[in-house]
Amino acid sequence: MNSWRNRLNMRAILMGTLALFLLHLVLIQPNHPAAMAWNAVLLFPLELPAIVFGLIALGRSRAGLILRVLVILILSVIAVLKTADYVMFTSLSRGFNVVADLPLVGSFYDLIVGTMGQFAAISAVLAALLIVVLLIVGLWWATGYWTRLARPKSVASASTIAALICVAVSVADIGTRMGRWDTGFPYPGTAFTARVGVERVQTARATLRDLRAFQEAAQNDPFAGQTGLFDLVDRDVLVVFVESYGRTSLDTPLYADLHRATLTAAQSQLEGLGLGMSSTLLVSPTQGGQSWLAHASFANGLWVSGQTSYRAALRSERQTLFHLAQEAGFRTAAVMPQITLDWPEAQFMGFDTVLAADDLGYAGLPFNWITMPDQFTFGAMDRLLRTERPDGKPLFIQMALGSSHAPWVPVPDLIAWDDLGDGSVFNPIVEASDPPHIVWQDNDRVRDQYRLAVDYALQTVFAYAALHAEDPPLMIIIGDHQAAGFIALDERPHVPMHIVGPPDLVDRLSDAAFVPGLIPDATDAPRRMDLMRGHILRALSSQMLAEVAE
C-alpha cells in the first residue's frame, strides 16, 4: 500500500512539475531575437505564482473555470503577439502593432510563396495553426491540474491571499519597468508577459490617437489651390525608388567597399557627361519592408508609418506630388514591376497611367519573387512612356525597382540596352542559379547576395542616367528603406537620396543638406522623407521661391 501511495505521490509531483514548466515556458517566451538564449529559461515570471495560487484558491468552482478560460485566452493571445513581435523585429526591426499591422500577414504569406513556394507557405500556415491548438490544449491541461487539487478551506484562503500579493508584485514590477513609478523594491523576477500585454493595449490606443491627429494633418495642405507649381521644370521627372537601399551601403564595410566604389565610378562617368549630381540622407518611415509606406510619405508629405495611416492618407483626398504634377501639365505614371494583382489604391495617388508587371512586356523567367530585372523595367518604361508622346506632355513618373528586393536570388548582369528584347535573354541566369531555399540556409551567403543585388540596382540606375545624358530627365533617386537588421547590420532607418540631371535643376533642389556628387555626408542629421514633397515643390516653383525669399 505504501509503495502504491509513493508511486501516486511521485506521479502527482511529476505532473505538477510538468504543468508548472509548461506555464513557465509560455510566460518566458521571448519576443525579440536578442532575447532568444538559453539563460532565458532561468528567468522567474512573477505571473506564474499569481496564476497557480489563483487556480488553487478557486478550484473547480464556476469562478475557477472563468479564471482558467481567461488565463488560457490571454496567454494564447500574448504568445501569438510575441511570435509576431519576433518576426517583425527580425524583418522590420520593430514590434507588431495590432491596429496597424494585421494587413501585413498576407504580405508575409506572399513573400514565403515567392521565396519558398506555395507548398512551403501552406505548410507554414498549417504548422502555425497546429502549434496554437497544441498550446491551448496544453494550457487547458496545465491549468486544470491546479484546479483539480483537493485542498482544505484553509489552503484555499491562504492561496487567495498569496495570489493577491503576487498580482500586486506583478503590477508593481510592470509599472516600474514602464517608468510609471519606482518602488525601489528588488523584484525576484519580472512580469514580462503581462507587460507585453499592457504595452500592446497602450500601443493600440496610441495608434488610434495618432490616426486622429494624422487625419487632421492630411486636411491641412499648404499647397492646395496653389498655381504655377513646377513651372521651373521643362523636362521629364523620374522618381526612382531603389529597393532595400539604405545607409548600410555607405557605412558597413561589407557593403560600403563595393557600393561606394560603384557610386564613385558612376559619379566620375556622369560628371564627364555634363550631368549635375547631389546627395543627402533621409529618414524612412519603415525598415526591412513595406516600401509603399516610403512611397506614400514622399508623395503625400505626411509621415505614413503604418497601414492605418496609409489607408487614412488614401481616404483623405490630399493631393500627392503626382496630383500636383497633373495640374501643372505633366502626364503622370507609375511603373510598378512588382504589382502582379489588382492595385485599387492607385486611383487615389494621382497617376494617369499605371504600368504593372503584366503591362511591361517581360517574357523571361521571373527572378523568383522578383518579376523582372531593373534594367528591363527601365527599358520598358522608355519604350512605353518616353519614346512615344501622343499628347506632347512632359512626364512625371514614379518607378519602384525590384531587383534588390529579397530573396536577392539570382542577381542579373547589366547587358547592352539594345539586347533587352522581351527579357528572355536573362533566362540562362535564372536557370543556372541556386533557389532561395538553398541560399537562405546561410546568412553570410544571403548578405553577399544582398550586396550584389543592391550594387546591380545602383549600376542600372546610373547606367540609365548615362544613356540619356544628351537630353537628361531630372532623376530623384531614393532608397525606400534599410534591409532587415540581420541583413543590413545597421538598425538606423536612414536611406540615401540622389539628384541627377541638368545642373541648373540639380542646383535648385540642393539646399544645405545636400552635398555635390553621389556620396552623402554621413555626419549630417537626416531629415524625414515626408518633408521632401514640400522641399521639391518650393525648389521647382518660382512662386514658392519668391514666397520663401520674402
Are 162 and 253 within one domain? no
User: Looking at the predicted structure, is the pLDDT value of residue 475 above 60?
Assistant: yes
pLDDT tens per residue across span 41-82: 778 888 888 888 888 888 888 888 998 899 999 999 989 888
User: Looking at the predicted structure, is the pLDDT value of residue 525 above 50?
Assistant: yes
Domain end among 208, 237, 257: 208
- The pLDDT score that the predictor gives to residue 441 is 84
Is 261 inside a domain boundary?
yes
Is 216 inside a domain boundary?
no
CATH of the domain at 265: 3.40.720.10
pLDDT tens per residue across span 139-173: 999 888 888 876 677 777 888 888 888 888 888 88
Is 218 inside a domain boundary?
no
Q: Where are the alpha helices (DSSP H) in 228-344?
A: 248-251, 253-272, 291-300, 307-315, 321-327
Are 44 and 187 within one domain? yes
pLDDT tens per residue across span 341-366: 778 777 778 899 999 999 999 999 99
Work out how many domains the chain is built from and give that number.
2
| Average pLDDT of the residues in 508-512 | 92
Are 145 and 14 within one domain? yes
pLDDT above 90 covers what percent of the chain?
A: 45
For the ranges 45-49, 316-320, 483-487, which has the lowest average pLDDT? 316-320
Are 72 and 192 within one domain? yes
Is 514 inside a domain boundary?
yes
Place of cell 503626382: 322
pLDDT tens per residue across span 296-312: 999 999 898 887 778 77
User: Looking at the predicted structure, is the pLDDT value of residue 8 above 60?
Assistant: no
Q: Write the DSSP symbol of residue 367.
A: B
Quote the CA–CA distance of 205 and 200 in Å, as a whole number. Answer: 9
Report the 10 Å Cβ neighbour count for 199.
17
| Average pLDDT of the residues in 464-476 | 96
pLDDT tens per residue across span 256-294: 999 999 999 999 999 999 999 999 999 999 988 889 999
- The pLDDT score that the predictor gives to residue 206 is 75
Q: What proportions of the chain, in percent to the nearest 5, are helix, strand and coil? A: 60, 10, 35
Quote the CA–CA distance of 355 and 376 in Å, as a whole number. Answer: 13
Which residues constitute the domain of residue 54?
2-208
Are 125 and 261 within one domain? no
Quote the CA–CA distance of 411 and 459 in Å, as a whole number. Answer: 12
- The pLDDT score that the predictor gives to residue 549 is 42
C-alpha cell recorded at residue 120: 512551403
Are 200 and 244 within one domain? no
Are 23 and 106 within one domain? yes
500, containing H or E segment: strand 494-501
Task: Report the range out of 6-10, 199-203, 515-519, 543-547 with the highest average pLDDT.
Answer: 515-519
Are 242 and 304 within one domain? yes
Are 348 and 436 within one domain? yes
Is 198 inside a domain boundary?
yes
- The pLDDT score that the predictor gives to residue 312 is 76
Residues 6+ apart with CB under 8 A from 540: 229, 230, 231, 232, 233, 505, 508, 509
User: Looking at the predicted structure, is the pLDDT value of residue 84 above 90?
Assistant: no
User: Looking at the predicted structure, is the pLDDT value of residue 5 above 70?
Assistant: no
Nearest of 215, 204, 242 to residue 303 by alpha carbon: 215
Is 219 inside a domain boundary?
no
Burial class (CB in 10 A: 0-12, 13-18, 19+), 351: buried
Are 119 and 243 within one domain? no
Mean pLDDT across the chain: 86
Is 373 inside a domain boundary?
no
- The pLDDT score that the predictor gives to residue 548 is 47
Are 204 and 230 within one domain? no
Buried b (16+ CB within 10 A) or exposed e, 155-190: eeeebeebbeebbebbbbbbbbeeeeeeeeeeeebb
| Average pLDDT of the residues in 194-198 | 86
Is 31 inside a domain boundary?
yes
Quote the CA–CA distance of 210 and 206 in Å, as a whole number. Answer: 6
Q: How confident is the model at residue 177 (pLDDT cuts 50, 70, 90)?
A: confident
C-alpha cell recorded at residue 101: 499591422
pLDDT tens per residue across span 87-132: 877 766 677 777 666 666 666 676 666 666 777 778 878 888 899 8
- The pLDDT score that the predictor gives to residue 4 is 38
Are 262 and 204 within one domain? no
- The pLDDT score that the predictor gives to residue 107 is 66
Q: How confident is the model at residue 254 (pLDDT cuts 50, 70, 90)?
A: very high
